[in-house]
Amino acid sequence: MQPNLIDFSVRGDERGYLVALEENKDVPFAIRRVYYIFGTQAGVRRGTHAHRRTRQVAVCVSGSCKFLLDDGGTRTEVQLDSRDRGLVLEPMIWHEMFDFSQDCVVLVVASDLYDESDYIRNYDEFMEEVR
Ligand code: T46
């Protein structure tokens, strides 16, 4: 599978830069939630789940990290290290995050409110459901 990456428009002038994420424009869904991940300890793996319904876009706004994406058939890895590039995380894609730099901050916009029942946190269950 190919990672779906979105290049955002960067607004800038002599003062610096700005990226705006608007729903159904820069991001391909209506945004209902925003969260960010930071202070991840060295060697840690995060994610390790899939979502049943939620769509997300992840942007590494500081530092870098890697994502493993698995659609149940193929796996791919992608490095996020740009403030103007987002990775689309569609439902039923198993994803894991690793190799976090110390200064890594990942901003995520999501199509749904937090709901633990939307998560598949067991890989065998994911493989059962994705078939
Ligand atoms: C994802 C990847 C990219 C909440 O209470 N509200 C929230 O909106 C979120 C996202 C999490 N939580 C709670 C649930 C856990 O008790 O925060 C705790 C840490 O969440 P989790 O272990 O799921 O974090 P990550 O970094 O493994 O995964 C997160 C998102 O949860 C997930 O949706 O796709 O980032």
pLDDT in tens, 27-64: 999 999 999 999 999 999 999 999 999 999 999 999 99
Please give the mean pLDDT across all residues of the chain.
97
Q: What percent of the chain has pLDDT over 90?
A: 98
- Choose among 40, 39, 44, 9: nearest CA to 27: 9
pLDDT digits (tens, 9 = 90+) for 55-111: 999 999 999 999 999 999 999 999 999 999 999 999 999 999 999 999 999 999 999
Residue 17: exposed, middle, or buried by beta-carbon count in 10 A (0-12, 13-18, 19+)? exposed
Question: In DSSP terms, which residues pair with 7 in a beta bridge?
Answer: 85
* Residue partners of 77: CB distance under 8 A and separation at least 6: 66, 67, 68, 69
CA distance 30 to 16: 28
Task: Tell me the pLDDT band of 3, cut-offs 50, 70 and 90.
Answer: very high
CA distance 55 to 90: 5
Q: Are 71 and 104 in contact (CB under 8 A)?
A: no
Looking at residue 88, what is its pLDDT?
98
Q: Report the catalytic residues.
A: 49
> Which residue's C-alpha comes closest to atom 32 of ligand 1?
47
Looking at residue 94, what is its pLDDT?
98
- CA 18 to ligand 1 centroid distance, Å: 26
- CA 108 to ligand 1 centroid distance, Å: 10
Looking at residue 86, what is its pLDDT?
98
Residue 61 Cβ inside 6 Å of ligand 1? The answer reads no
Q: DSSP for 46-59?
A: EEEEEESS--EEEE
Q: Are 67 and 104 in contact (CB under 8 A)?
A: no
Q: Report, as an integer, the average pLDDT of 114-118.
A: 98
Task: Tell me the pLDDT band of 8, cut-offs 50, 70 and 90.
Answer: very high
How many residues appear in the chain?
131
The encoded tokens of residue 124 equal 């065998």
Looking at residue 19, what is its pLDDT?
98
Ligand 1 pocket test, candidate residues 49, 51, 65, most atoms within 8 A of CB: 49
